[in-house]
Amino acid sequence: MAISLVITPEISQQRGFEIAQRTGATLMHSAPVNGQYLQLSPTGLALCDSEQPKQRLRVDFTAGKQGFRLRQHGQAREAIVRACGIGKAPKLHIVDATAGLGHDAFVLASHGAIVTMLERSVVVAALLRDGLQRAEQEGAHHITSRLTLIQTEAVDWLNQSDWPAADAVYLDPMYRPARRKAAAAKPLAMLEKLLEQQQQNNENLLTAALKAASKRVVVKRQRLAPTLGQAPPNFSITGRSTRFDVYIPG
């Protein structure tokens, strides 16, 4: 079912139409009584929920936790950066095949990687595109210029692309139920609700990634979660709550 898009009076109809066209959303002037909807206001595009009026989810690369990660840049090399092998080759082309809100892709690009982001949800892709546009306006052009967003099913894109599609393919396919408990994760719980009908095709995703990557495939998992596919990774980098499984294509 199409999601609703509410635009506030300050926003031009044209901008509303553009987002409605990309997302298949139905334009409305007030919030629906039930369920999730998108709201476009001067602060950007947000995912909202009529049942939780205080919650909203917006992609913001320069404030909050993501802004902190950005400011820490250079002080500590994050595990994700080491797992993707960026230290050895800063201009690596990485395909982030499950871009989501783009947090990981933004970190990779801030360390010099050229990142192609693939996201299959039209709503998530719209939130991400909006966050990238605001980051650009807020002075992060040196990072956003290394990021390209494509709204597509990653398995199809990876299988159809010329080989090799990238030096590395990065996968983080699932929002994890355990995250729901943490108060800080409430916006992520909204995303889990949005995506709960999505079919998982993780085994196919890993197979396609291994064909498309020339140097490595990196899979983000919860620290104690099973591997994504049947095959064991070549090595893993384990942090406090997260593990990065690294596969070297054979």
Please state the residue numbers annotated as binding site for S-adenosyl-L-methionine.
119-120, 172
Q: How far is the CB of 153 from ligand SAM (least distance, A)?
A: 5
For 47, the enclosing helix (H) or strand (E) is strand 44-49
Considering the complex, state which of residue 93 and residue 103 has its C-beta at the smaller distance from ligand SAM.
103
Considering the complex, state which of residue 26 and residue 201 has its C-beta at the smaller distance from ligand SAM.
201
Rounded to an integer, what distance in angstroms lies between the CA atom of residue 29 and that of residue 8?
Answer: 7
Other Cβ atoms less than 10 A from the Cβ of 212: the count is 24
Q: How many residues does the chain have?
A: 250
Considering the complex, state which of residue 19 and residue 155 has its C-beta at the smaller distance from ligand SAM.
155
Q: How far is the CB of 205 from ligand SAM (least distance, A)?
A: 5
Q: How far is the CB of 115 from ligand SAM (least distance, A)?
A: 11
CB-based burial of residue 197 (10 Å sphere; 0-12 exposed, 13-18 middle, 19+ buried)? exposed
Q: How far is the CB of 72 from ligand SAM (least distance, A)?
A: 16
Binding site for ligand SAM (CB under 6 A): 98, 100-104, 118-121, 124, 153-155, 172-175, 195, 198, 201, 205
Q: Is 49 left (phi over 0), alpha (psi -120 to 50) or beta?
A: beta
- Phi and psi at 33, nearest 5°, equal -75, -35
Considering the complex, state which of residue 121 and residue 207 has its C-beta at the smaller distance from ligand SAM.
121
